[in-house]
Structure 1
Amino acid sequence: MFTQIVVNTCLVLVGVLTVLYLYIRRQFTYWERLGVPYVKPDSFLGNFGDSFTKKRPMSEILIEVYDKSSGKGFTGVWNFFSPTLFLANPEVLRDIMIKNFDAWTDRGLPSNPESDPLSQHVAALDGKMWKDVRTKLTPTFTSAKLKHMHYLLLECGKDLEKYLESLVSKNEAIEAREVSAKFTTDVIGSCAFGIQMNSLSDEDAAFRNMGKKMLNVTIGQRFAILVLLSSPWLFKKLKLSLTPRDVEEFFLRITREAFEYREKNNVQRHDFIDLLRNLKNVDQSLGEGETVFDDKLLTAQAFVFFGAGFETSSTTIGYALHELAVNQDMQDRLRKELHEMKAANKGEITWDGLQGMKYLDMIFQETLRKYPVVPQISRVSVKPYQLPGTNVVLPSGSRCIIPIYAFHHDPQFFPNPEIFDPKRFTDEAKAQRRPFTFIPFGGGPRNCIGSRFAEQQTKIGIVSAIDKFKLSLCEKSQNPIQYKKGAHFLHADIGVWIKVSRIGADNK
């Protein structure tokens, strides 16, 4: 009897392994069967396995695959054993992002509202629900609304100056990205939640700790990511989550409390929470299929605004400060532009004055070019799509990768791409640039909804750091910067270390 059980168990196991082997084998012959050129994967983990196993940074892998693909315009690759189209031509990119956007509306990001309510945010939503939420949120990021919030960002900028002043007296090197993360956490807290975060003055600030937890990938989350990339349907079936439970509970509570406080005290600040409150309170005549803006859906939007806003902007500020420390002439020129603008505006950094700082904008754009914080994005097709110039039709549900980092470092579009050169973003240079080669915020209808806010807080962070302080490299500095292996974002391996010193009154 026992022997029979063992035999039956072995037969079942062999059967399961055989089916799995045949499935994986079929996946890895997908592009060959379609007649699409492909880049042979390194292992069963696909073309990007070295990032998952932390052997190489994603930026290096993207460049390698891009170089093998650029002559063809696109190639087939594998994200684990999931066949994925890799785009390596701006025209194909334009076709997917603009011309045939209706075939590629989805991003393929995880959204399991039942098990992970904060995953139902505008960046991850698909279909009609994405359109409804995006339409409702868009008014937050108009120039008029951002101008209303300008004073809130300036207050955080002044706090950053005070914090840097306290560090100067200690004569210690600073990790620019961490300092910037504290600044952007305070900005998002003020503009989104109406709360003074005190991340710069309090080393144990709650929001800063939550931000760190959001980026700290656990073993369980790595498993969930593996399932998501290899079998998205299984990710949903198993009701997996990428949001730590304590982070979820924190944001649900803090958003609910913000709603209740403002309702009770009739407080209005013209910020993100006010917009969400209006969506919650408006008397909607809901028809079939209309989106219901309940507390969890609204909190998800505040959550992604915080997560995406503090992380991407703080990393960009850190890299910008690094390049200004490397290039003293650029730092001096930018500081001169800032002081001239302030002199023309009674010593203040006004909204209009900030918009008029052309050299600051060139520094900002070149930082995004050289250091795109999100090195790649993805799209998922919702209908069959014919590959340009071929008879190959990809089925609905196909995935594609848009390698932002590789486009930004293609010498065909940006000569000597490893050189930091703000002149790439003069008006004349931008007019001559080939479209869809500079895409730090994506492109088309699914571009980053908060890009203008990100630009505003990043620029204020940069000018607040150089107004009264000189930035320079130190013993801890790494130049050129090496990237962290296995990171989803373009993070520096050992951080961005610089020295900050006070500028004498005679130098101002």
Structure 2
Amino acid sequence: MGALTGHWIGDGLVLMFSIAAVFYLYMTRKFNYWKKRGVLEFKPVPFLGNFGECLFFRKSALDFIKDYYNNSKGLKYMGFYILDQPFLMLRDPELIKHILIKDFNYFHDRYTSTGKKDILGNANLFTIKNPAWRFLRGKLTPFFTSGKMKKMFELMLAVNKDLDTYLESLDIDSKGREMEMKELCAMYTTDLIGVTAYGLRVNSLNNPDAEFRACGRQIFNFNWRRGMELACTFFAPKIVDLFGFKFFSKESTEFLRRAFWDTIDERVKSGVKRNDLIDLLIDLREQTKNGENKEFRFDGDNLVAQAAIFFTGGFETSSSAMSFSLYELALQPEIQRKLRVEILEALEDKNGELTYDMVANLPYLNMVVSETLRKYPPLPFLDRETNMDYKLPGTDLIVEKGTPVYIPLQGLHYDPQYFPDPEKFDPERFSEENKKNIPPCVYMPFGEGPHICIGLRFGLLQTKLGLIKILSKYEISACDKTNVPIVFNKKALVIAAEGGITLKIKKLMKVPG
């Protein structure tokens, strides 16, 4: 006999509905949070907030960000919800400047977080919190100076030659052949990261199944599980531990850990110095042993985490920028021809030799890559979390401690107020004259302020180097398999084309004058 209804089934139903009601009330308790504060919000759905379409992969994160930005036109900010958490989205460049730069001491941490036991996930420079972040950033910055880039340039040229050899081996004639460009670019940038960070010739171009390339594919293989892992890491970190989600997959973690320690052991045993990331991390480990680094211990997985994030961030963002550049150039043959003329003239002036200063400073190449990064920023948003109550300048709104604040890059980069006819690929936006008209904190593909991407110089250098090698000898065009317009992967948190980017590549029979 049931205590409440006289039957155990009835009691069970009462209990079940009671639990559901309590859970419903708990998950909706914060709804109207923004409305009560006079901030525009869109009606959230119980248990999902405004993020349901993304959680079920019916909409990509970049479209989510862009849509909410567009639907709050004319406002400085708006509110939305993910699960039961209120988020604030900033639209006003002046407020964004305060959050990212002027009042950084209130917003020194990203909202993005990983599981407590996920050391590779939470100890790397991208996700680690202050004050460890500030100390770690200072220790790793010397690896990314222009002086270091110039020293690494010779290593990068060897990989650039490998790219040339690989393309020649395909025997591409004047009729051309179809190729998936994202994979080609990823093999190239994986080899670059391998030689500059690990001191290894990982040989992805000659062996597409090389372990480093296989690891990279696995990390950015956006199936349901992987898509959910990264979506929760960036937007709902409080439930990451509940489902055992990891920043790097289990298999990738095991490989990166093994590759790192094998390289460390070999380097220490041989005594060879290559002035790469491994050498820097060995030096930092010695400082930890000597008690010099007290704020952050450079040992164990804390060391592996830095090499892992440099590998993943380095090859993926640059291969994305390269492949999207080639996509746009394939659709814009006049722009491609103009860029090729600049490249060939520069090579002729240097007797065919590639130099660091030439690659870094070609004006039209800079404009093309900048415009690519406007249309296809590696991440469609920047995220921060308030570490104390903060009054938004010029408003009455108090952003309470712990509130996630998001900056919608995908919205800003496509706002016709700042970039007229934003769907058009137009490198002239970034001419010396025109780029002065772009307001601060509107164009930020690498972030801004103290958290700006530490590998910015490196990423741009390897992207430009790859484009120079390809465009100096080959013509790129669209083919029947090219998606126009491009279709984005709804499971991907980073910007990624669904099914890759297939283009036709054709050998130039005569160097254009």
The answer to whether TM tops 0.5 is yes
1:144–1:217: structure 2 CA closer, same or farther, 3 Å change rule?
same
Q: Is the partner of 1:481 in helix, strand or coil?
A: coil
Aligned to 1:411: 416
Q: Deviations over 1:407-432 (max 9, x none)?
A: 00000000001111111111111222
State which drifts further: 394-403 or 486-495: 486-495
Aligned to 2:347: 342
Aligned to 2:304: 299
Q: Deviations over 1:342-371 (max 9, x none)?
A: 222231110111123111111110110111
Aligned partner letter, 1:114: K
Aligned partner letter, 1:205: A
Given that residues 70 and 89 in structure 1 are in contact (C-alpha distance below 8 angstroms), is that contact kept between their aligned partners in structure 2? no
Aligned to 2:220: 215
Aligned partner letter, 2:393: P
1:481–1:278: structure 2 CA closer, same or farther, 3 Å change rule?
same
Given that residues 163 and 205 in structure 2 are in contact (C-alpha distance below 8 angstroms), is that contact kept between their aligned partners in structure 1? yes
C-alpha distance in structure 2 between counterparts of 1:502 and 1:451, whole Å: 31
C-alpha distance in structure 2 between counterparts of 1:135 and 1:192, whole Å: 18
Given that residues 28 and 46 in structure 2 are in contact (C-alpha distance below 8 angstroms), is that contact kept between their aligned partners in structure 1? no
Aligned to 1:120: 123
Aligned partner letter, 2:157: L
Deviation at 1:40, TM superposition (A): 2.9
State which drifts further: 3-12 or 143-152: 3-12
Deviation at 1:161, TM superposition (A): 1.8
Q: Deviations over 1:176-224 (max 9, x none)?
A: 1111011011111111111111111112111111011111245555555
C-alpha distance in structure 2 between counterparts of 1:226 and 1:200, whole Å: 31
Given that residues 413 and 419 in structure 2 are in contact (C-alpha distance below 8 angstroms), is that contact kept between their aligned partners in structure 1? yes
Deviation at 1:117, TM superposition (A): 3.2
2:243 is aligned with 1:204? no
1:103 to 101, 106, 118: 106
Aligned to 1:458: 463
Q: Deviations over 1:259-303 (max 9, x none)?
A: 111111111111111111111123666489621111211110110
1:242–1:288: structure 2 CA closer, same or farther, 3 Å change rule?
closer
Given that residues 81 and 230 in structure 1 are in contact (C-alpha distance below 8 angstroms), is that contact kept between their aligned partners in structure 2? no
Q: Is the partner of 1:83 in helix, strand or coil?
A: strand
Aligned partner letter, 1:334: L
2:313 to 304, 308, 316: 308
Deviation at 1:158, TM superposition (A): 1.6
Length, aligned pairs only: 508
Unpaired runs of 5+ in structure 1? Answer: none
1:166 to 164, 169, 176: 169
C-alpha distance in structure 1 between counterparts of 2:455 and 2:466, whole Å: 17
Deviation at 1:306, TM superposition (A): 0.7
Q: Deviations over 1:12-32 (max 9, x none)?
A: 534432222112221222112
Q: Is the partner of 1:198 in helix, strand or coil?
A: coil
Aligned to 1:473: 478
Aligned to 2:62: 59
Aligned to 1:358: 363
TM-score (ref. length: structure 1): 0.94
State which drifts further: 466-475 or 157-166: 157-166
C-alpha distance in structure 2 between counterparts of 1:289 and 1:79, whole Å: 37
Unpaired runs of 5+ in structure 2? Answer: none
Given that residues 79 and 229 in structure 1 are in contact (C-alpha distance below 8 angstroms), is that contact kept between their aligned partners in structure 2? no
Q: Deviations over 1:426-473 (max 9, x none)?
A: 111122211111000111111111111100010011111111111111
Deviation at 1:504, TM superposition (A): 1.8
Given that residues 155 and 196 in structure 2 are in contact (C-alpha distance below 8 angstroms), is that contact kept between their aligned partners in structure 1? yes
Q: Deviations over 1:86-118 (max 9, x none)?
A: 111111111110111111111122233534434
Aligned to 1:326: 331
1:503 to 491, 496, 508: 508
Given that residues 284 and 298 in structure 2 are in contact (C-alpha distance below 8 angstroms), is that contact kept between their aligned partners in structure 1? yes
C-alpha distance in structure 1 between counterparts of 2:47 and 2:243, whole Å: 23
2:27 is aligned with 1:24? yes
Aligned to 2:448: 443
Aligned partner letter, 2:465: I
Given that residues 227 and 491 in structure 2 are in contact (C-alpha distance below 8 angstroms), is that contact kept between their aligned partners in structure 1? no
Q: Is the partner of 2:447 in helix, strand or coil?
A: coil
Aligned to 1:81: 84
Aligned partner letter, 1:385: Y
2:157 to 133, 144, 154: 154
C-alpha distance in structure 2 between counterparts of 1:224 and 1:425, whole Å: 36
Given that residues 116 and 242 in structure 1 are in contact (C-alpha distance below 8 angstroms), is that contact kept between their aligned partners in structure 2? no
Aligned to 2:384: 379
C-alpha distance in structure 1 between counterparts of 2:288 and 2:136, whole Å: 16
Q: Is the partner of 2:87 in helix, strand or coil?
A: strand
2:286 to 276, 281, 284: 281
Q: Percent identity?
A: 35
C-alpha distance in structure 2 between counterparts of 1:226 and 1:356, whole Å: 37
Q: Is the partner of 1:282 in helix, strand or coil?
A: helix
1:456–1:323: structure 2 CA closer, same or farther, 3 Å change rule?
same
The RMSD of aligned alpha carbons is 2.3
Aligned partner letter, 2:503: I
Given that residues 477 and 503 in structure 2 are in contact (C-alpha distance below 8 angstroms), is that contact kept between their aligned partners in structure 1? yes
Given that residues 287 and 293 in structure 2 are in contact (C-alpha distance below 8 angstroms), is that contact kept between their aligned partners in structure 1? no
2:252 to 247, 252, 256: 247
Q: Is the partner of 1:149 in helix, strand or coil?
A: helix
1:133 to 132, 136, 147: 136
